[in-house]
Structure 1
Amino acid sequence: MAPPLPLVFLLMIHVCVSGVSSADWGVSYSPSHICALKDSSVIMRCTYTYPTGYKIKKVFWTKTLVKHNGEHPDLSEDPEYSQRLQYLGDKQKNCTIRLSHVTLKDSHKYYFKFNTDKDKWIGYPGVTLTVTDLQVESPERVTEGDSVRLTCKSSCTLTDRATFIWYRNSQPLTERRDRNNELLLQSVRREDAGRYSCAVHGHNHISPAVQLNVMFHHGAGRNVIVIAAAYGGLFFVIVVIIIIIIIMIIQRKMKSRRSALHKYENDDPSADTYTALELRSRSSDLYDTLTTIHPRPADHQSSSSEYEN
């Protein structure tokens, strides 16, 4: 049923006199989507408007449109945000905030809300924050002389213009230039093998390191050396220790054998005499055997003469 004409007339007069319309209320975010690096500080820029004659009573940010006890939760009262959230705006037009040390869990939608003495307003659709970390993408192994491209990747495109820094074995690379978020290694050598990580200039977050192995064509021996160098010499140290242990064992066995032989010679001084006698005895038996088979010429002639006589 349509309202009576006098009531419609009164409503029209109220709107004309007060000058209030939905166009007088609003919240604007710039930008509306933010991609931030883990552990960095994020600034969410925001402005708001409201009708003339209204007085601001409360301003705050929230990350949910669901009310609790008739009101949206205030982030500044949330233990997870209270120490990291700073309101940079005012109670007139500016509603900018800074959120520091962002984590992956901070990826969410955030809304600004303000209460006046006559009404309340929440800024929909809000600003979307995505927090990302860094990952290095590279081939696991390459051959000497190849050209290699390493990429510092993130789950979203960083809102702020980023200058990337590269590390090899935790040492910054200064001799090579990067292109955007890529590191180009042309004609790789064994010195290029190692653990690579990346970061963004001005930020503390560093990506996990990724191992790059450089394989050669002179044989497996050089590859072992390269891998050993890539792991900071740990493999080389282990090999050296094993070699030293083997040498010590061999030297100990040789020393033990020499000691045993020396002890035997000292305890049995007649060993040489016994050996000589044994040799002579064996030689005598051989001589007697030969004499029996082949008699001496002198003995044979003597026997013959006696027979004739």
Structure 2
Amino acid sequence: MPLIIKAPPLPLVFLLMIHGVSSADWGVSYSTSHICVLKNSSVIMNCTYTYPTRYQITNVLWTKGAVKEDVDPPDLSKDPEYSQRLQYLGDKQQNCTIRLSHVTLKDSHMYYFRFITDKYKWIGKPGVTLAVTDLQVESPERVTEGDSVGLTCKSSCTLTDRATFIWYRNSQPLTTGIIGNQLDLWRVSREDTGRYSCGVDGHSYISPAVYLNIRYPPVNPVISISPSGEIVSGDSVTLICSSDSNPPAEIYWYKGRTFVGSGRIFSISKISSDDSGEYTCISINDHGEKYSDAVTLNVMYPPRNVSVLINGSGETVSGDSVTLICSSDSNPPALNFSWFKENESSAVGSGQSFSALQSGRLYCQAHNQHGSQRSDAVTVTVHHGAGMNVIVIAATSGGLFIIIIIIIIFIIQKKRKNRRSVIHEYENDSPRTGTYAALDLKSRSSDVYNTLTTVHPRPALHQSGSIEYENP
């Protein structure tokens, strides 16, 4: 779109004193002496000229730069840099207006109009000064969230035409905060961060973009554990702290309240159960700090420190057994336990507790989904004696010998009653006074009789004090 110069005309007439010619009859008039236009736009230089009517115009042209006496200046219409962009809009009578399209910064010069008659040559000096400008966005060097900011669209000269400025953020036009060539941003936030550029309504040229870097404290640091899912002892684990901040924050890692490292990435190679716990990262920059939520590392591991414990005081009563308990440290806790006799491949029992009834060296084996481990063996010795059983257990663990002796005395039979009480019992139970008197001898059979004589034999007392039974 051509740029129409609307400034009031300021006629400048260059008068060349020629002997015998009135200067009032010769001249070139420009509508303005200075024009400021935007890069890549079109400019119109309005121009008129006068000469005595008795002369005939043979040639008209525009030229630029310094004009030397007695040297014909170059014709811009024949210059390759201008020939495709310069259009003569005037005539060979009075109008000398031209249009110059797609102006560049190199087009900034003083331009002159020159006409030639059949007898004289005339050049309009001084000419029109053309200044071509681009646009630059001027912004503060340091902006913090919450500040109010003004951006200015600047040019190297004041545009001749009345300009309506347009602002863009990330190439999208803005509709608020525009006052003249300035963009006002009130209480900026991180959402206002972006690339800002400006232009003039009606022109395609847009300024180079300037990045508005809004600084703000860290916000909501987050820990994405890699690998995700179950963590097993021996794995390599990486913790990554993602934090939104400007400028980028320094990252520090804590396990509980203990500092363990720095940097956005915290790696643990060959993780162990000692690394289990709650981890947090803290994000710090010049504008503040923020803690992340804690994440828990729960390290799984197979059973370890498996041992056999003896349950009870060590004293048992006849008919009881000694209970052995299998203890282990594992994550998750071991749920499967097997009991073995040493040098035997088949299990003799299962479960966390085991009742030992026989002599031998026994050990337990604890299992979870990550592995198993066996304990040291303990020795169980069962002694069988008349009137009592003695069970001796020797437990060995870590070079320390613990001997637990549990003596269980079972009374197999009661003492026989003393001699006089036994005699008295059987004397009172004479067949003539008790059992036999109740029988009907007429109806008795030999079977019944034989049974009675077997059940109640007559005791005989010997001198030695022992009792014999004899049949009647």
**1:157 — aligned with what?**
158
Q: Deviations 1:100-152 (Å, cap 9, x if unpaired)?
A: 11111100011110110010001100100000000111113323333221110
Distance 1:89 1:128, change over 3 A: same
- 1:58 aligns to 2:157 (yes or no): no
- Paired amino acid for 2:62: W
Which structure shows the bigger proportion of residues in helix conformation? 1
Q: Deviations 1:76-108 (Å, cap 9, x if unpaired)?
A: 110111111000010010001011111111000
**2:180 — aligned with what?**
180
88-97 or 183-192: bigger deviation: 183-192
**2:27 — aligned with what?**
26
Note if contact 1:64-1:73 (Cα within 8 Å) is conserved in structure 2: no
64-73 or 195-204: bigger deviation: 64-73
Kindly report which structure 2 residues correspond to 1:134-153, keeping only aligned pairs within 5 A, or say none. 134-153=135-154
Note if contact 2:396-2:402 (Cα within 8 Å) is conserved in structure 1: no
Q: Following TM superposition, by how much is the alpha carbon of 1:195 offset from its aligned partner in structure 2, in angstroms?
A: 1.4
Q: Following TM superposition, by how much is the alpha carbon of 1:69 offset from its aligned partner in structure 2, in angstroms?
A: 9.5
2:375 is paired with a residue whose SS is helix
Note if contact 1:213-1:226 (Cα within 8 Å) is conserved in structure 2: no
Note if contact 1:193-1:226 (Cα within 8 Å) is conserved in structure 2: no
Distance 1:277 1:188, change over 3 A: closer
Q: Deviations 1:176-221 (Å, cap 9, x if unpaired)?
A: 04221111122323322221110001111111111223334xx333
Q: Following TM superposition, by how much is the alpha carbon of 1:252 offset from its aligned partner in structure 2, in angstroms?
A: 11
- Paired amino acid for 2:154: K
Distance 1:145 1:276, change over 3 A: closer
135-144 or 54-63: bigger deviation: 135-144
Distance 1:275 1:83, change over 3 A: same
Distance 1:110 1:173, change over 3 A: same
Q: How many angstroms apart in 2 are the aligned matches of 1:252 and 1:170?
A: 50
Note if contact 1:140-1:211 (Cα within 8 Å) is conserved in structure 2: no
Note if contact 2:218-2:245 (Cα within 8 Å) is conserved in structure 1: no
Q: Following TM superposition, by how much is the alpha carbon of 1:282 offset from its aligned partner in structure 2, in angstroms?
A: 4.2
Kindly report which structure 2 residues correspond to 1:82-97, keeping only aligned pairs within 5 A, or say none. 82-97=83-98
Note if contact 2:27-2:50 (Cα within 8 Å) is conserved in structure 1: yes
**2:447 — aligned with what?**
none
Quick one: higher RCO (CA 8 Å, sep 6+), 1 or 2? 1
Distance 1:204 1:251, change over 3 A: farther
Distance 1:84 1:68, change over 3 A: farther
| Percent of paired sites with the same residue | 64
**Structure 1 residue runs without a partner (length 5+):** 1-13, 229-234, 236-245, 262-269, 297-309
Q: Following TM superposition, by how much is the alpha carbon of 1:283 offset from its aligned partner in structure 2, in angstroms?
A: 7.5
- The alignment yields a C-alpha RMSD, in angstroms, of 3.8
**1:7 — aligned with what?**
none
Q: Following TM superposition, by how much is the alpha carbon of 1:251 offset from its aligned partner in structure 2, in angstroms?
A: 11
TM-score, length-scaled by structure 1: 0.68
Q: Deviations 1:236-267 (Å, cap 9, x if unpaired)?
A: xxxxxxxxxx79x989999xxx9x98xxxxxx
TM-score, length-scaled by structure 2: 0.46
Q: Which has the larger radius of gyration?
A: 2
Q: Following TM superposition, by how much is the alpha carbon of 1:284 offset from its aligned partner in structure 2, in angstroms?
A: 8.8
Note if contact 2:218-2:246 (Cα within 8 Å) is conserved in structure 1: no
Q: How many angstroms apart in 2 are the aligned matches of 1:208 and 1:252?
A: 52
**1:286 — aligned with what?**
401
- 1:190 aligns to 2:178 (yes or no): no
- Paired amino acid for 1:286: F
Note if contact 2:77-2:86 (Cα within 8 Å) is conserved in structure 1: yes
2:211 is paired with a residue whose SS is strand
Distance 1:47 1:253, change over 3 A: farther
Q: How many angstroms apart in 1 are the aligned matches of 2:49 and 2:88?
A: 14
- 1:210 aligns to 2:210 (yes or no): yes
Q: How many angstroms apart in 1 are the aligned matches of 2:130 and 2:51?
A: 25
**2:326 — aligned with what?**
none
1:131 is paired with a residue whose SS is strand
**1:238 — aligned with what?**
none
Kindly report which structure 2 residues correspond to 1:261-276, keeping only aligned pairs within 5 A, or say none. 275-276=374-375
Q: Which residue of 219, 222, 226 maps to 1:221?
A: 219
- Paired amino acid for 1:276: S
Kindly report which structure 2 residues correspond to 1:107-126, keeping only aligned pairs within 5 A, or say none. 107-126=108-127
Q: How many angstroms apart in 2 are the aligned matches of 1:92 and 1:60?
A: 13
**Structure 2 residue runs without a partner (length 5+):** 1-18, 222-242, 249-264, 273-298, 303-344, 346-362, 366-372, 379-394, 408-472
1:221 is paired with a residue whose SS is strand
Note if contact 2:61-2:75 (Cα within 8 Å) is conserved in structure 1: yes
Q: Deviations 1:52-80 (Å, cap 9, x if unpaired)?
A: 21100000000134469942100011011
